[in-house]
Amino acid sequence: MDYYNEKPIKLIACDMDGTLLNGESKLSDGNRAAVLKAIDQGVMFVPCTGRPLCGVTWLTEQMPGDFPVIVCNGSGAQTSRSGRVLFEQNMQRSDALEILAMAAQTPYAYILWEGDKLYVSRVCLETEIYRNITGATMNPLGDLDEIGEITKIIWLIPPDVGPQLMAEIGERFAGRVNCHTSHPRLLEFVDVKASKGLALAALSEMYGIAPEEMMAIGDANNDISMLEYVGCSVAMANAGDDIKSICKHVTLTNDEDGVAAAIERFVLR
């Protein structure tokens, strides 16, 4: 164990895509073994993802216990097996409707989540790919009055337009909505009070674990809030320079078991 922290790590907050999962979106034997060793030593392992809980069941079933999972980019946190809600922050309806109206004026397909229920503007290759990743059933987006609380909205975009759109829309909705990318083709919108960092803060208070006793590992824009929150922040080698610049440490890539390397270096005793 590499003692860079004054206190031992009691909680690992770990992004999934591009971090815990390899380039084939699979959990490697090396990462799985390291996670299980950490859990066996009493460390809480918290997957943090843009997916809903139903989209990570295949992963959480490989780990023991009923532990917290941060879902929908911090719009919620639920226990892995019982599904008990630990934290929830849906979008303000007026903001969601404005973003959906903007999306309807673009050529891009878009989706929204109502809890674990997935709605799509149209069935196409992009929405089919997204459905396969999440494991959810696609529902056609019809009358918005029939939809309850909106958790998250995603525009499915070409990767070259993401930075410009994020800047433009982010400025328009500043103070109301968090706009970020979890993947170059996914422009995601959640409430301004929803982020992986805010969800992690809720877990900190709930379980009595200080930020200095936490390690976060991530690779993308939607991981920034939790990387800035914890005492031990670790960027993946496959992350962009903007992510690496805010982290204390950099580990290997997601195809080189970078999560396992970080756990072995900073957590295991």
CATH number at residue 171: 3.30.1240.10
d(CA 153, CA 99): 8
Same domain, 82 and 199: yes
CA distances from 2 to 39, 210, 217, 227 (A): 18, 19, 16, 19
As a whole number of angstroms, the distance between CA 132 and CA 62 comes to 20
Query: Do residues 198 and 76 share a domain?
Result: yes
Residues 186 and 102 in one domain: yes
Instruction: Give the number of other Cβ atoms within 10 Å of residue 43's Cβ.
Output: 21
pLDDT at 123: 95
Q: Which domain holds residue 71?
A: 11-89+194-266
Would residue 250 count as lying in a domain?
yes
CATH number reported for the structural domain that contains residue 229 in this entry: 3.40.50.1000
Whether residue 107 sits in one domain with residue 82: no
Q: Is residue 4 a part of any domain in this protein?
A: no
Domain identity same for 103 and 26? no
Contact (Cβ atoms closer than 8 angstroms) between residue 120 and residue 80 = no
Instruction: Kindly state whether residue 185 falls inside one of the protein's structural domains.
Output: yes
Region of 113 (left: φ > 0; alpha: ψ -120 to 50; beta: rest) is beta
Give, for all 269 residues of the chain, the pLDDT tens digit. Answer: 454 556 899 999 999 999 999 999 999 999 999 999 999 999 999 999 999 999 999 999 999 999 999 999 999 999 999 999 999 999 999 999 999 999 999 999 999 999 989 999 999 999 999 998 888 899 999 999 999 999 999 999 998 998 889 888 889 999 999 998 878 899 999 999 999 999 999 999 999 999 999 999 999 999 999 999 999 999 999 999 999 999 999 999 999 999 999 999 999 98
Helix, coil or strand: residue 259 = helix
pLDDT of residue 4: 52
Same-domain status, 108 and 146: yes
Q: Token pair of 223, please? A: 């991981």
Q: Which own/partner contact pairs does 131-134 have at CB distance under 8 Å and 24+ positions apart? A: 133/25, 133/51, 133/55, 134/51, 134/52, 134/54, 134/55
Alpha carbons 231 and 5: distance in angstroms, whole number = 7
Examine the domain organization and report whether 148 and 163 are in the same domain: yes
Q: Is residue 49 part of a domain?
A: yes
Asked if 156 and 130 count as a contact pair (C-beta separation under 8 A), the reply is yes
CA–CA dist 117, 139 (Å, integer) = 8
In the block, tokens 């149209």 appear at 122
The residue behind tokens 């994020």 is 166
Q: Reduced to 3 states, what is the DSSP secondary structure of residue 120?
A: strand
